[in-house]
Structure 1
Amino acid sequence: METEIPAMLDGRPELYGESFTFHSSRMRMQSVTQEELERMDDQSEDCATLLSDARCDVIAYACLIGIMAQGPGYHEDSEAKLHEKTVENDGDAPVVTSAGALVRALDRLEAERVALIAPYVEELTRTVIDYFESSGVDVVDYETLECPDNLEVARLDQRNLVDIAEGLDTADADAVVLSSCVQMPSLAAIQSAEDRLGLPVFSAATATTYEILDALDLSTQVPGAGRLLAGGMNEGEGVGKSVPTADD
């Protein structure tokens, strides 16, 4: 998240004339287990307060499984709770979660059936699938990479993702989630996978980038990052607005 979101925002067309600053407050988590994820989420309110000290314009909770492991629909509770912390600190800022962004991206793309790739052990990947299905989305196929070490997840070679995606059964899929984890890199493979599969391909990071830009009332266009971030599409085609922002 700390590499791919800046890369996407910095890669936007120069005509927008934008500049961004990035601030982070980390929640501790080393092994991707249910117990550590619960302890990590307990730190989220303090992190939101710390970031609101910087008067950020938008705050992103950048751990998809950390939200989904707390139960179906938890992204809504978390976003409301963390936003309230920014209000209490006189630093009112919208809050997006990568889990909520991914769920809402499926709605924007009008995707009711998806295939996905996850780095987690099988049990946690099933948690992701259950979370999607509780939101009314069917997971038609998936690949789980059985990688419990959080640092190892970040070192996975994203060049392998296109081949893994081609091995999924996407005959009945409306879209493919190339990385359902913000820790697993995928940005360099998004467009290639989309071109090969002929389906919308996105990730937790691209979905979160969409919502960051939308919360800032900016165009949601990022070249080469898949259909979700193509910009300029009609609402009926599944993605949102494109707003000129050259003077912002």
Structure 2
Amino acid sequence: MPDVTGYRAKIGVIVPSTNTVVEHDVNALAPHGITFHCGRMYVENQAMGDHDSFVNLQTQLRASMSIALRDVMTAKPDLMMMGMSAPTFSGGVEGNTLFQKEVSDQVGGMPVTTGASACRAALEAIGVKKISVFSPYQPVADEWVDRYFTEAGFDVVSVTGLRCPTATSIAEVTPRDLVKVLEEIDTPETEAIVQVGTNLSFIRMADEAESWLGKPVVAINTATVWHTLRQAGFDDTVGGFGTLFRNF
């Protein structure tokens, strides 16, 4: 018998324990009959204000990922979605492929969507090549992002990091803060803007920004939900969250 609420599909989502945005965003984006269920990766030290602390945060996430996957699998999901993004960009295109395989192997071969692969698919669907990217990260992860998109065939105009000091402070970045960032990275050669970092809620602002920037703006949480659904064969469109989910 199908699940009463997730009667079309149940999607497992893996998030850091410090993340307060992904659950809100995926529920806002969820089509009828598709539900999202989170497993949380424990983070003891949430500092990420410099190179060493940022790398340590990624190490903590990888160490607790298996337990989060184990826990969420008890809900019997049909698909798995990664609600964290920095590690999925590490190591370029090959690194993302290996990360997906690592996770899939732990969940019985289930399809896995990552933020990196979702953003790539989104940009390919929209049909753009020259992109400007912003993140909440430190320079080490911005280098991962630059490498990934470059290897995936995009012309990266710039990657701008907000240098958030802690994992929870990412969720405290306001729309007013981001207006200035968008204006700074919107160069004439930029064909689309991409936001990465799943604890930065940008799904509604991306849609609004498209109206005054006049170009596609891709929020990573929107892209990851969109890609997860498309991989599963669901073609639902959702308005109010940008060109990607409305038209593709």
Calculate the TM-score normalised by the size of structure 1.
Answer: 0.80
- How far residue 207 of structure 1 moved from its aligned partner, in angstroms, is 0.7
Measure the CA separation in 1 of the matches of 2:132 and 2:102.
31
Measure the CA separation in 2 of the matches of 1:45 and 1:107.
31
> How do 1:207-222 residues align onto structure 2 when only pairs under 5 Å count?
207-222=223-238
Aligned-pair Cα RMSD in Å: 2.0
> Is 1:52 equivalent to 2:69 in the alignment?
no
Q: Which residue of the partner structure matches residue 37 of structure 2?
A: 23
Q: Which residue of the partner structure matches residue 125 of structure 2?
A: 108
- How far residue 60 of structure 1 moved from its aligned partner, in angstroms, is 0.7
- How far residue 71 of structure 1 moved from its aligned partner, in angstroms, is 4.8
Q: Which residue of the partner structure matches residue 243 of structure 1?
A: none
Mark the CA change 1:148 to 1:72 in structure 2 (over 3 Å): closer, same or farther: farther
Q: 2:169 aligns with which of 122, 147, 152?
A: 152
Measure the CA separation in 1 of the matches of 2:164 and 2:155.
24
> Is 1:99 equivalent to 2:113 in the alignment?
no
More strand by share: 2
Q: Which residue of the partner structure matches residue 139 of structure 2?
A: 122
Sequence identity (%): 24
> How do 1:86-235 residues align onto structure 2 when only pairs under 5 Å count?
86-87=107-108, 93-177=110-194, 179-231=195-247
Secondary structure of the 1:195 match is: helix
The count of residues paired between Structure 1 and Structure 2 equals 220
Q: Is the contact made by 2:142 and 2:161 (CA closer than 8 Å) also made in structure 1?
A: yes
List gaps (5 residues or longer) in structure 1. Answer: 13-17, 232-238, 240-248
> Is 1:62 equivalent to 2:83 in the alignment?
yes
Q: Which residue of the partner structure matches residue 246 of structure 1?
A: none
1:12-35 deviations in Å (ceiling 9; x for gaps): 5xxxxx233332111133233113
Secondary structure of the 1:202 match is: strand
Mark the CA change 1:31 to 1:66 in structure 2 (over 3 Å): closer, same or farther: farther
Secondary structure of the 2:158 match is: strand
- How far residue 157 of structure 1 moved from its aligned partner, in angstroms, is 0.6
Instruction: Name the aligned partner's letter for residue 4 of structure 1.
Output: D
Measure the CA separation in 1 of the matches of 2:130 and 2:191.
5
Q: Which runs of 4+ in 1 moved over 3 A?
A: 69-72
- How far residue 229 of structure 1 moved from its aligned partner, in angstroms, is 0.5
Measure the CA separation in 2 of the matches of 1:222 and 1:52.
27
Measure the CA separation in 1 of the matches of 2:95 and 2:160.
24
